[in-house]
Chains A and B, each alone.
Chain A
Amino acid sequence: MRALTFASRNTKEITRELSTSLFGIGFPVVLLILLSAIDKSIPDGYGPDLFNIEKLAPGITVFGLSFLCLFSSMLISKDRTTSFVLRLFTSPLKPSDFILGYTMPLLPLAVLQGIVCYLCALCFGLKVSLNLIVAVVVNIPIAVVFIALGLLFGSILNEKAVGGICGALITNLSAWLSNIWFDTAMVGGAFKAVADCLPFSHAVNAARAAAAGDFRGIFPDLWWVIAYAVVLTVAAIAVFTAKLKKN
């Protein structure tokens, strides 16, 4: 109950920052429109296969979720800077209430982001299908990964630092190592090995399989993402609790 109350407060803080919501939902859509337009202007067979709308749309939905890392880290670090979190540390809220309260408001945003992206993709030739609903659901674990990363960094870094780490580093890292913009197999070697160890390319593979109706193909990629989501959430709780005790 307390977690829900805290989540409600965080929802208000996030949604009333209009630029955050618009950027989070708008930027992936702008990318989708631009890249689809470019792909359309290239004769068939000459453009990169990854920019076909069937592959591009699920990829962009995953890329868009990387901004959740920035939002969650900014929210928590801001609360730390203003001592709001200090006030809450003296309240009956438990560490699990904090983590749930920070995570829950961002999940509807993740779902909304996916829906808007796929609706936009329909205008560029993506076929209407119930599989797209499955693809939106399949994105939830990677959304949790990004939120947990944000909570981890937000618990230890200040507002300025999280902008750099979560806004630039994580966003870029997840983009390069995700198979969205280029196939990591083309680079091969250590680059591909690292990409395969991280959850981002697996999330994109799972989303593409779901959107294509290849439900068997969702796994084992989704297991990788779920495992990361669990480990990072536990790590976020541990770090937050340690921070709480250290105060």
Chain B
Amino acid sequence: MEAVKTVNLTKKYKNITAVNNLNLTINKGELYALLGVNGAGKSTTIKMLSCLTAPSSGDAELMGFSIVTDKEKVKSLINVSPQETAVGAKLTVRENLEFIARIYGADKKEARAKADRIIEDFSMEETAKSKASTLSGGWQRRLSIAMALITEPEILFLDEPTLGLDVLARRELWRIIEQLKGKITIILTTHYLEEAENLADRIGIMAHGVLCAQGTAAELKEKANNNDFEEAFITIAGEAIK
């Protein structure tokens, strides 16, 4: 089943076309990585798919619901872990989790039960009573992803989830993301090519607002005729930019 299907999705800002006639299909349970150099249009695509900004033309269906006409339904099915940590600084880990659960409609008891479960899943028992502002960058990012998952979304957007983290914290987050594979649909944007190569089922490469290539890491390497994924990305994105 298709979790995401875009049809000629386009976003224009005055004279600039940030995303141009994007036609993309992501299957249910798939982890899809969106790659591209700065200004390629991946963040704008994520913003449109997560209902943060309306498309100039075209549409996208998430689990069968339009981002144009069924915005509220789409919002109830997705969640986002933004690039910045986006946690309530003065709230404890548990309070952050329960807060998100409650604004998505859970009552007090349900929110507590969901928080208990996710604290266990993310091994956050020891930090559950700590204020978010006292956590390290890696733990704040972990909390941010947990906040996105507590609502049990069908589609999860991870925007640069490991940006600025040290290698150990990054690997730890990779482990968490890998555990989610197959359970929910994940759309990941990242500048770390090895992250996409290691985690994603399929990878889409965007340049100038256009999806210029997509496939598994192996398929993309084959397409670029290069065994190194970074070199393959440079070849594909470079050609599209020319």
Contacts from A to B (Cβ < 8 Å)? 2, 5-6, 8-9, 12-13, 16-17, 78, 82-84, 86-93, 245-247
Which B48-106 residues sit within 8 Å CB-CB of chain A?
Answer: 50-54, 72, 75-76, 78-91, 95, 99-100, 102-105
Nearest B-chain residue to A97, judged by Cβ: B103
Let me know if A13 and B75 touch, CB within 8 A: no
B147 within 8 A of A: yes
> Chain B residues with Cβ under 8 A from A8's Cβ?
99
> What's the dominant secondary structure at chain A's contact region?
helix
Let me know if A87 and B80 touch, CB within 8 A: yes
Find A83's partner among B72, B86, B91, B99 (CB 8 Å cutoff).
Answer: B86
> Chain A residues with Cβ under 8 A from B52's Cβ?
86, 89-90, 247
Q: Give bound CA distance, A171 to B82, whole Å.
A: 35
Q: A2-B103, A9-B95 are in contact. List 18 more A-B contacts (CB 8 A).
A: A9-B88, A12-B90, A12-B95, A16-B131, A78-B89, A82-B85, A83-B83, A83-B85, A84-B86, A84-B88, A87-B81, A87-B82, A87-B100, A88-B103, A90-B51, A92-B76, A92-B103, A92-B105
> Chain B residues with Cβ under 8 A from A17's Cβ?
90
Nearest B-chain residue to A13, judged by Cβ: B90
Let me know if A9 and B99 touch, CB within 8 A: yes
Find B84's partner among A2, A82, A89 (CB 8 Å cutoff).
Answer: A82
> Chain A residues with Cβ under 8 A from B80's Cβ?
86-87, 90
B47 within 8 A of A: yes
Contacts from B to A (Cβ < 8 Å)? 47, 50-54, 72, 75-76, 78-91, 95, 99-100, 102-105, 131, 147-148
> Chain B residues with Cβ under 8 A from A245's Cβ?
53-54
> Chain B residues with Cβ under 8 A from A247's Cβ?
47, 52-53
> Chain B residues with Cβ under 8 A from A9's Cβ?
88, 91, 95, 99
Nearest A-chain residue to B157, judged by Cβ: A90
Let me know if B88 and A92 touch, CB within 8 A: no
Task: Offer 14 A-B interface pairs, CB within 8 angstroms, sorted by A.
Answer: A5-B102, A8-B99, A12-B88, A12-B90, A12-B95, A16-B90, A17-B90, A82-B85, A83-B86, A90-B52, A92-B104, A92-B105, A93-B103, A247-B53
Nearest B-chain residue to A81, judged by Cβ: B84
- Closest Cβ–Cβ distance, residue A42 to chain B (whole Å): 44
Q: Give bound CA distance, A1 to B95, whole Å.
A: 17
> Chain A residues with Cβ under 8 A from B78's Cβ?
90
> Chain B residues with Cβ under 8 A from A12's Cβ?
88, 90-91, 95
